[in-house]
Amino acid sequence: MDHVEMKPITLPRLEAALQRLLLRQSLDQAPAMTEDAAKPIFDSATYEELFAGSDVDGREWLEGYLSAASGLIDALRRAVAARSAADVAATAHQLAGATLSVGATRAGLLCRALEGAAKTPDWPRLSALAGEVTNALGEACREIDRFADSKGALVP
Amino acid sequence: MKSFDAVRVLVIEDEPFMRATIKQMLRMLGNPDIREAGDGQTALETIASFHPQVVLCDIGMKPMSGLQFVEKLRGQGDAEMRATPVVMLTGDGAQSTVAEAAKLGISGYLVKPISPKNLADRLRIALTPRKSA
């Protein structure tokens, strides 16, 4: 038995339980992803390596990532809604490259897993994974935003 | 590590954030002369006028992929342009893609996320003149 849902069962609760089940099945099919949960949400080591002693303002680079991620997350939502596996794969590919490069390893590896999964248009699975990717990216973006704030305000 | 001063580098990448990342990485390696292109066609035009010593090229671009770009570059009439060293920067580490790129005579293949050290190592190899067979 995988799950117990207490009566009275409502449609939202049933839907949420099914989503959790589908997500767990996705994770079972991609065992490497469970290890990804231990990866950092955002590691500032790349930032430090790229901007230590540089006269370029690294906060603009972080803002650039946040802006790119925001546009790509919207594109991912559109691709899932349109049931376009090719667009899901292409968007997840772009998200993975940018997200791993900024130092958000956990979300980046999830994007890479989604890119791989999109080779098979199993939409319940892809939708669940895309939701997980979106959540992880949201978490990473909040962390990056906090880090950028800690470096001081950008001069317009 | 600042050994790439004045080296002419063309960065071809369709994603602006990735272009900014690669450019900043290059700046940390010295003071290279950097140009950028967001697609393969613009890159071919830039190469003709800029004569880069090395090209850093993404693979997953549209409408012309990075591999299609290199194929076009290798088919150019101008011998100098044809021989421009190219290092592929990509998130695609699939063996089939690496093999396809190797057939096109590339000088390096780096899988994202790349580090400044890996980029510097590949650049040094790409900038070393090849011995003719």
CB–CB contact A97 B92 (8 Å): no
Nearest 5°: the CA angle B76, B80, B86 is 80
pLDDT at A5: 54
Q: What are residue B88's phi and psi, to 5 degrees?
A: -85, 135
Answer with the residue of higher pLDDT: B3 or B73.
B73
Amino acid at site B33: D
Q: Give A60-118 as a DSSP string.
A: HHHHHHHHHHHHHHHHHHHHHHTT-HHHHHHHHHHHHHHHHHHT-HHHHHHHHHHHHHT
A93 touches chain B (CB under 8 A): yes
pLDDT digits (tens, 9 = 90+) for B61-85: 889 999 999 999 999 999 999 999 9
Answer with the residue of higher pLDDT: B91 or B47.
B47
The arithmetic mean of pLDDT across residues A96-117, rounded, is 96
Contacts of B21 in chain A (CB under 8 A): 50, 61, 98, 101-102
pLDDT digits (tens, 9 = 90+) for A44-73: 999 999 999 888 899 999 999 999 999 999
Separation CA B20–CA A47 (nearest Å): 13
Query: Predicted confidence band at A27 (pLDDT cuts at 50, 70, 90)?
Result: very low
Pairing status of strand B33-37 against strand B8-12: parallel
pLDDT digits (tens, 9 = 90+) for B83-94: 999 999 988 778
Contacts of A95 in chain B (CB under 8 A): none
CB–CB contact A100 B112 (8 Å): yes
CB–CB contact A101 B112 (8 Å): yes
Extract the tokens encoding A142: 């909040």
Nearest 5°: the CA angle A146, A147, A152 is 95
What residues form DSSP beta bridges with B35?
B10
Full-model pTM: 0.82
Q: How many Cβ contacts (< 8 angstroms) between chains A and B? A: 60
Separation CA A20–CA A150 (nearest Å): 35
Look at residue A77 and tell me whether its pLDDT is greater than 60: yes
Pairing status of strand B108-111 against strand B86-90: parallel
The arithmetic mean of pLDDT across residues B108-116, rounded, is 91
Separation CA B6–CA B9 (nearest Å): 9
pLDDT at A39: 83
pLDDT at B59: 93
Count other Cβ atoms within 10 Å, centred on residue A101: 23
Which residue bears the tokens 């650049």? Answer: B123
